[in-house]
Structure 1
Amino acid sequence: MKKIGFLVNPIAGMGGAVGLKGTDGDAFVKAVNLGARPIASERAKRALQDLHLRLRDDDLLMLTCSDRMGEDVLKETGLLYNIVYDIHGKTSAADTREACKRFLASDVDLVLFCGGDGTARDVYSVIRTDIPMLGIPAGVKMYSGVFAIDPVAVCDLLEDLFSHQKDSDLERPRIKIRDAEVIDIDENAYRDGTLKMEVFGYAKTPYKPTLVQGRKFVFYGEDEEVSKKAIGRFASEFMRDGSLYILGAGTTTKVVADALNLKKTLLGVDVIKDGRLIKSDTNENDLLNILKDEKSKKIIVSPIGAQGFIFGRGNQQISSKVIRKVGIENVIVIATPYKLEQTPHLFVDTGDADLDRLFSGCMSVVCGYRMAQRKEVLGARKVRSLK
């Protein structure tokens, strides 16, 4: 019988839509006060909802935590499970670590967790390289290489990893186990606009191209800066068309603001119109309110280096509701030629599968002054058909 240790960080990702860039420390209380809603459980359910059908010819036992750290999700999936760790009251990183100790003692084949980089770090601190780990993406920032592209990909990965290969599956590439970086950042510095990344170690994780994300890369160099400035100069020209622009996070979008002589929230989302800063470091509600009275509106974002995400990682303020109000035809993606070269595909993971699917196909990416490249976008995939 295959055994999976499964846990959910119930507060993961709550800081995203409200613009807090994480839920570590006191940020969780602030997020709740700003109206943040839990998202981790729903993403975990989406990942596991068909797994009992996918592995119907195999025995699988989920070992988990009580209540909202795992049990509540598994109750709705049809999967067989046992509770090996009981939570009491407010949960913390200590609960994650203790649960992982129980998983190790129970000799699980894989630890599946739902959260972000902080949760990945806590899991890795216990299991190290003894067993593989896989993340259901639910955090605000996910720079580590141990996360699936989206919740649906988790089910596909687990099916390929644990199912017996049938004659009809002989052409399907088998899952590899690779070493992947576990990365976390200083959230306080992140909120102040400084990105401080630290590699905590290299975990074992299942890997299949287009199903598991890579780690984030930051690109440097003289050519890179020249390309960014060319993009910024071009954007500063077309942004004076009277439209309202939502400017996403990152160093590439910062150069756009620099070209307009505006101060950019480096790791936040700002709003610009007619060369003026309308509002800085916005959250989802700010954006929805601002958009109400605007006829012409656009979004400018840049993919996370090497990972390729344009929505759903570090910019959850630009939610599916915001994108629908703007229209996907009014989304402008910018990236330097080298970043595009090092980023095989673009991805979208807003939590709204129908919207994500609309992005599927090729889109033009502004990569210089009046220059663009076509790049494939892999939106949400349909759930793999059951056999």
Structure 2
Amino acid sequence: MMRSIGFLVNPVAGMGGAVGLAGTDGKADEAIRRGAVPRAADRALQALSPLRGEEIRWYTSAAPMGRDVLASAGIERCTVLHHPATPTTAADTRAACRAFLEAGVDLILFCGGDGTARDVLDAVGREVPILGIPAGVKMYSAVFAVNPAAAADLIRRAGEIPCRESEVMDVDEEAYRSGRLTTHLYGYARVPFIPERIQGGKQVFEQQDEERAKDDIAAFISEVMLPEMLYIIGAGSTTARIMERLGLVPTLLGVDVVRNGEILVRNADERTLLALLDKHPRAKVILSPIGAQGFVLGRGNQQISPAVLRKTGLRNLIVVATPGKLAATPLLYVDSGDPDLDREVGDSLQVISGYRIAQRKRVIHPD
């Protein structure tokens, strides 16, 4: 039996990440002013291209919310049910989803971030399964495939695999931009589920033992830091503790750059990082995976782009996490936006989890 899928793209999703805006909701114009380029269409194209020739009846919104991406993927036979405004808005996402629902689709496939997921849920609730192609900045909701290749695999097998009740999270972006992570459960959606193909929701770890572990990690990292070396330090409370150990004030949810014990740049964007690496080519990147989700790259740290990582070299990637976080995070993922770079990471990463203590964690590449 031929499946039917409603497909839409939020064309501005994720634009704020590389330019240090920590999100794009209400900030698309500012992201463009800072030099951001659209990335959602490219992410959607990675998911759709392997589906060319599949027995799927496609419904979509007109360009730039879907029809153009289907055409680029070589999928010409589709029905346009919605024509968005210029510029597109959240109302267009909801209207397109309602049109898909009326057409009786088996699945709604969307490309965006947490804000797009909330708009889709508002329109369809639990009446039809949904699946997200990750293209936002943070993506704490558990309705996204771990990367575009995983989305393609899930679509091929939709109807044959079970659906899971998965969390859609509401993230306060204004609070996030000011360094406070404020989330709450927005609702539940039905999502086709295969382990290692769908990301989990973020968990936050604040137990007393975790705080001691952060201190131990910070003590070790501060001892092994080299003079004249550039340190690009990503978001999170564990990496923030390293900054505090150095006597520096961190940008909790941004990327800071440190050299010789001093901050060179706070809340750096991709362009700034690339310029600094031209001047200081000896550099290391310190990151912590998102708790329970396991993403080291591609969630909340798009400033540390494939171009940045190729300049630093993957051998200079340092991953840190507390034992509690690692116990709840059985697998690690990388979704930098460059599948070749992701594969170069290899099948495992060493994670520093205490003072001179490390664990090796498996890295999954669902492509």
TM-score (norm 1): 0.92
Distance 1:346 1:241 in 2: 30
Q: Which runs of structure 2 are paired with 1:87-166 in the superposition (5 Å)?
A: 87-162=84-159
Partner of residue 220 from structure 1, selected from 206, 209, 213: 206
Taking structure 1 as reference, are residues 197 and 185 closer, same or farther at Cα in structure 2, changes over 3 Å only?
A: same
Alpha-carbon offset, residue 325 of structure 1: 0.3
Distance 1:106 1:90 in 2: 25
Give the aligned residue type for 2:339: A
Q: What's the counterpart of residue 195 of structure 1?
A: 181
Q: What's the counterpart of residue 12 of structure 1?
A: 13
Distance 2:309 2:281 in 1: 14
Give the aligned residue type for 1:371: I
Alpha-carbon offset, residue 380 of structure 1: 6.2
Paired residues of 1:333 and 1:364 also in contact (CA < 8 A): yes
Distance 1:240 1:186 in 2: 37
Q: What's the counterpart of residue 337 of structure 1?
A: 323
SS of residue in 1 equivalent to 2:158:
helix
Q: What's the counterpart of residue 275 of structure 2?
A: 289
Paired residues of 1:44 and 1:114 also in contact (CA < 8 A): yes
Q: What's the counterpart of residue 228 of structure 2?
A: 242
Q: What's the counterpart of residue 39 of structure 1?
A: 39
Q: What's the counterpart of residue 306 of structure 1?
A: 292
Q: Does 1:71 align with 2:47?
A: no
Paired residues of 1:353 and 1:380 also in contact (CA < 8 A): no
Paired residues of 1:348 and 1:380 also in contact (CA < 8 A): no
Q: Does 1:185 align with 2:144?
A: no
Distance 1:333 1:219 in 2: 17
SS of residue in 1 equivalent to 2:244:
helix
Query: 1:70-126 deviations in whole A, cap 9, x for unaligned?
Result: 000111223321000111321000000111111111111111000000000000011
Give the aligned residue type for 2:40: A
Paired residues of 1:85 and 1:99 also in contact (CA < 8 A): yes
Provide the aligned length of Structure 1 versus Structure 2.
365
Distance 1:206 1:226 in 2: 39
Alpha-carbon offset, residue 274 of structure 1: 1.4
RMSD of aligned Cα (Å): 1.1
Distance 2:207 2:110 in 1: 36
Taking structure 1 as reference, are residues 295 and 85 closer, same or farther at Cα in structure 2, changes over 3 Å only?
A: closer
Give the aligned residue type for 2:22: K
Bigger Cα displacement from structure 2, 278-287 vs 240-249: 240-249
Distance 1:76 1:278 in 2: 42
Paired residues of 1:358 and 1:379 also in contact (CA < 8 A): no
Bigger Cα displacement from structure 2, 280-289 vs 153-162: 153-162
Q: Which runs of structure 2 are paired with 1:249-268 in the superposition (5 Å)?
A: 249-268=235-254
Distance 2:366 2:125 in 1: 31
Alpha-carbon offset, residue 184 of structure 1: 2.2
Paired residues of 1:181 and 1:203 also in contact (CA < 8 A): yes
SS of residue in 2 equivalent to 1:114:
strand
Q: What's the counterpart of residue 30 of structure 2?
A: 30
Distance 1:306 1:220 in 2: 14
Distance 2:3 2:161 in 1: 16
Paired residues of 2:347 and 2:362 also in contact (CA < 8 A): yes
Taking structure 1 as reference, are residues 84 and 146 closer, same or farther at Cα in structure 2, changes over 3 Å only?
A: same
Paired residues of 2:232 and 2:255 also in contact (CA < 8 A): yes
Give the aligned residue type for 1:76: S
SS of residue in 1 equivalent to 2:139:
coil
Paired residues of 2:14 and 2:136 also in contact (CA < 8 A): yes
Bigger Cα displacement from structure 2, 40-49 vs 236-245: 236-245
TM-score (norm 2): 0.97
Unaligned runs of 5+ in 1: 163-173, 382-387
Give the aligned residue type for 1:73: V
Paired residues of 2:197 and 2:366 also in contact (CA < 8 A): no
Partner of residue 259 from structure 2, selected from 270, 273, 281: 273
Give the aligned residue type for 1:78: G
Paired residues of 1:146 and 1:180 also in contact (CA < 8 A): yes
